[in-house]
Amino acid sequence: MLDKFNSDKWFKKFKLEAFPEPEYIRLKHPVLLCHGYGAFASLVKPSPLNDIALFMRSHGVLAFAPNIVPYATIEIRSEEWQTLIQQLSERYDIPKFNVIAHSMGGLDIRYALSKLDLEPYVASFTTIATPHHGTSLAELVLRAPDSIQGKLGDFFDWMGDRVYPKTKSDAIGSVKQLTRSYVQERFNNEVQDLNTIPYYSFSAAVGKGTSFPVETVIRFQNNHIFEQEGINDGLVSAKSAQWGEHIETTHLSHLEQMSLRTDKDRVPAVKSFWLEVLKTLKKRGF
In angstroms, the CA 65 to CA 33 distance is 5
In angstroms, the CA 218 to CA 208 distance is 11
In angstroms, the CA 152 to CA 57 distance is 37
Contact 286, 29 (CB under 8 A): yes
Closest by CA to 109, choosing from 45, 100, 51, is 100
Q: What number of helices (H) and strands (E) belong to the chain?
A: 12, 6
**pLDDT of the residue at 154:** 81
Q: Each residue of 232-260: b (16+ CB within 10 Å) or e? A: bbbbbbbebbbbbeebebbbbbbbbbbbb
pLDDT average, residue stretch 103-130: 97
Q: What is the pLDDT of residues 187-226, one digit of tens each?
A: 999 999 999 999 999 999 999 999 999 999 999 999 999 9
**pLDDT of the residue at 261:** 73
**pLDDT of the residue at 10:** 65
Residue 39 has pLDDT above 70, yes or no: no
Neighbours of 71 (CB within 10 A): 27
In angstroms, the CA 103 to CA 261 distance is 17
Write the CB contacts of 144 (distance below 8 Å, at least 6 apart in sequence): 152
Write the CB contacts of 172 (distance below 8 Å, at least 6 apart in sequence): 142, 149, 152, 153
Residue 182: which pLDDT band, with cuts at 50, 70 and 90? very high
pLDDT, the chain, mean: 91
Amino acid in position 229: E
**pLDDT of the residue at 255:** 94
In angstroms, the CA 95 to CA 129 distance is 27
pTM of the model: 0.92
Phi, psi angles (nearest 5°) of residue 160: -60, -40
Closest by CA to 279, choosing from 26, 21, 19, 22, is 26
**pLDDT of the residue at 284:** 95
Of residues 47 and 162, more confidently modeled: 47
**pLDDT of the residue at 22:** 86
Closest by CA to 102, choosing from 38, 53, 56, 34, is 34
**pLDDT of the residue at 138:** 92
Of residues 139 and 143, more confidently modeled: 139
Residue 141 has pLDDT above 80, yes or no: yes
In angstroms, the CA 240 to CA 205 distance is 11
Q: What is the pLDDT of residues 42-53, one digit of tens each?
A: 677 888 999 999
In angstroms, the CA 52 to CA 101 distance is 12
SS3 124: strand
Amino acid in position 238: A
Pairing of the two strands 97-102 and 122-128: parallel
- Percent of the chain clearing pLDDT 70 (strictly above): 95
**pLDDT of the residue at 5:** 61
Winning range, highest mean pLDDT, from 17-31, 45-59, 119-133, 249-263: 119-133
**pLDDT of the residue at 66:** 95
Task: Kindly give the interhelix angle for 50-58 and 267-283, rounded to the nearest 10 degrees.
Answer: 60
Sheet holding 245-250, edge to edge: 63-64, 31-34, 97-102, 122-128, 199-204, 245-250
